[in-house]
Amino acid sequence: MDWDKLRIFHAVADAGSLTHAGDTLGLSQSAVSRQIRGLEESLGTTLFHRHARGLILTEQGELLFDATRAMSKRLETASARIRDSEEEVYGELRVTSTTAFGTLWLAPRLPTLYAKYPELKIDLMLEERVLDLPMREADVAIRMKEPSQADLIRKRLMGVRMRLYASQEYLRQNGTPHSIAEIAQHRLVCQNANAHQVSAGAALVRELMTQQIRTTFTVNNYFGVLQAVVNHLGVGVLPDYLTEDFPQLVRVLPDVESAEVPVFLAYPEELRHSKRVSAFRDFVLEGVIAYRRNRTGPSTE
């Protein structure tokens, strides 16, 4: 395929208009239209449905747009890496983490990183699926287990345990349980044991459920559990790294907790010298050091 035609196709598909794409590319509408027709002829297919309000991709057009979008992303990443210098940190960095850790621990600390490197662009992908770093699905990962993929640089950040927490208002109204058996008289807020989560958290939930809990509220991520707990819904199963940023949480049954869950930062060997990766790694490590220093209660390390 003609790379220039693909570049123009991508701009048209992104803008949904020949005119707007032409403005972006510095080309006339007729020139853009000729390039699109030429590409369609070379492929032997129609890439756009044309109507009065603009252009809509055909099924074949969607397939090509998926490919050019991936190409564009790869080129942007390559360009940023090439431009990495000793003096500057800028460009896009794709970071993946679990929904809970990325939302509740990482995101609140990002202003510190942006204050130091205002030209940096973080694309934070929060999902439970483990993205393939060697295949460049992401640049850096923060995960609740040691990565098994080859050719990765990895650093253990901390240990996390799932524990029981409630709000002061909930405990004032409903009393404080003093044994695991007394949990049965309270509303348990947690992830379903079958939901995608670390095995240690699921094991703790299964143990608690053996107590014939009177009423439950289950949600498929810890952010939802946290919102329910701080709004006085019940006793929740939550990761202990929340206690620094949510001091209103009251720990319930201090002897009840999950096995330790290791948290790792990892990135591909080929990004060892990337200034953006180094800046992000150092930022996370500094955040972990501060977190350990400020934590109350015994360390999980």
CA distance 139 to 268: 7
Q: What mean pLDDT do residues 174-188 have?
A: 94
pLDDT at 184 over 80: yes
Share the mean pLDDT of the chain. 87
CA distance 115 to 110: 9
When pLDDT is cut at 50, 70 and 90, the band that residue 290 belongs to is confident
What is the average per-residue pLDDT within 167-188? 94
CB 242 within 8 A of CB 203: no
The strand pair at 215-218 and 187-190 is best described as parallel
Residue 186 has pLDDT above 80, yes or no: yes
Tell me the helices (H) and strands (E) count for the chain, helix number first.
Answer: 10, 12
Whole-number percent of the chain with pLDDT over 90:
55
- pLDDT at position 301: 37
Q: Bridge partners of 192?
A: none
pLDDT average, residue stretch 57-79: 86
> Strand 140-143 and strand 261-268: pairing?
antiparallel
The pLDDT value given to residue 194: 80
Q: Which of 56-70, 104-118, 127-141, 245-259 has the lowest mean pLDDT?
A: 127-141
pTM value > 0.85: no
Look at residue 298 and tell me whether its pLDDT is greater than 60: no
CA–CA separation, 10 and 15 (whole Å): 9
Residues 3-11: what's their mean pLDDT?
A: 90
By three-state DSSP, how is residue 124 classified? strand
| Average pLDDT score over residue span 209-226 | 91
Q: What is the pLDDT of residue 83?
A: 63
Residue type for position 96: T
Is-contact 142 159, C-beta < 8 A? no
Looking at the DSSP assignment, which residues form a beta bridge with residue 143? 264
> Can you tell me the mean pLDDT for 137-154?
86
For residues 197 and 233, the answer to whether their CB atoms sit within 8 Å is no
